[in-house]
Amino acid sequence: MTEISAKQVMELRKMTGAGMMECKKALGDTSGDVEAAVDLLRTKGLAKAAKKADRAANEGIISILRKDKNDGIMLMLNCETDFVSRNDDFKAMVDEIGQFLLNADLPEGVNGKLGDADALEAVKGLSFKGSTLGEELTSAIARIGENMMIGALVAERSSDATDWLQEYKHGARVGVLVCLTTGNAATQDNPKFQELAKDIAMQIAAATPQVPQSVDRSGIDPEVLKRERDVLVAQAKEEGKPQEIAEKMVEGRIQKFYGEVCLLEQPFIKDDKQRVKDIVEAVAKELGDTISVARFHRVQMGD
């Protein structure tokens, strides 16, 4: 039987991140061949990781990174427990993956919008550290012992100097990326504009009175609006109101609906007597420029 030295065990552990006893057994099973032991541990580790990949991953870290004022990404990397999310190794991995994605040629499905399942699967296929990002995550699952996954990813990349990207994180569980546009790029240097941008991002994070569905009315899905109107009409009829009164009631309730789901029509978080669009217009007038909210992205841990 081949004698296994402590040096070999430590070398294998450093290479794989596996436990001492697992490394020693793998070396014994491969007659001290370190490379074969690495392959054996990977095989076993990947098998373990496949089982762990079925478990719920509702904790993690939201990372927002920018290369420039109008170029950045928001990434949510999930794990199973808060304990792992506070682990230095996990934090370092999030930083490394975030920096990689910030500079990578990303699939179209995550540019300007939160990636769906197909887009996130394509991201996992990107070349990363000699393999793929997906394989690296699988190795991390085996090493750390918890399921991990890319829960959300969006990239905003503009070369237009009048575009501004504002990030905001509310604690560890909510992240926001909002894109604003000014008529003059110099306006963005003004502290009042920057305060406005941050306030809008905070508004989206706070979800008051609820998470906005769009910037304005034009962004509301017609099917969503129709469904809301149908429900309100049915409610009015149920209350036995005359047709004319019912129509007025429905219209009033639709306006209230817009005020809840359209960002610009929501009550401003710092002064609920004003709407968000009133604040935007006031700052734009004061600075002598045009300011508009182009789009926004919001992610929440556990959703």
Domain total in the chain: 3
Task: Note the pTM of the prediction, 2 decimals.
Answer: 0.80
Encode the chain (303 residues) as per-residue pLDDT tens digits: 688 898 888 888 777 767 677 788 889 999 999 888 887 877 776 445 555 666 777 899 999 999 999 999 999 999 999 999 999 999 999 999 999 999 999 999 999 999 999 999 999 999 999 999 999 998 898 888 888 999 999 999 999 999 999 999 998 899 999 999 999 999 999 999 999 999 999 999 998 888 999 999 999 999 988 888 888 888 887 788 787 887 788 888 899 999 999 999 999 999 999 999 999 999 999 999 999 999 999 999 987
Domain assignment present for residue 233? The answer is: no
Residues 59 and 189 in one domain: no
Residues 69 and 136 in one domain: yes
Residues 149 and 171 in one domain: no
Coil, strand or helix: which one is 268? strand
Buried b (16+ CB within 10 A) or exposed e, 36-73: ebbebbbeebeeebeebeeeebebbbbbbbbeeebbbb
| CATH code for the domain of 140 | 3.30.479.20
Residues 35 and 115 in one domain: no
Residues 201 and 285 in one domain: yes
Beta-strand runs (E) in 59-162: 59-68, 71-79, 127-128, 131-132, 149-157
The one-letter code for the residue type at 132 is: T
Determine what percent of the chain falls in helix, strand and coil, rounding each to the nearest 5: 50, 25, 25
Residues 191 and 278 in one domain: yes
For residues 269 and 122, the answer to whether their CB atoms sit within 8 Å is no
Domain assignment present for residue 295? The answer is: yes
Domain assignment present for residue 229? The answer is: no
Residues 154 and 166 in one domain: no
Domain assignment present for residue 236? The answer is: no
Residues 149 and 166 in one domain: no
Q: Which domain holds residue 278?
A: 162-220+262-303
| CATH code for the domain of 14 | 1.10.8.10
Residues 78 and 141 in one domain: yes
**The Cα angle at residue 121 between residues 152 and 160, in degrees rounded to 5:** 55
Domain assignment present for residue 153? The answer is: yes
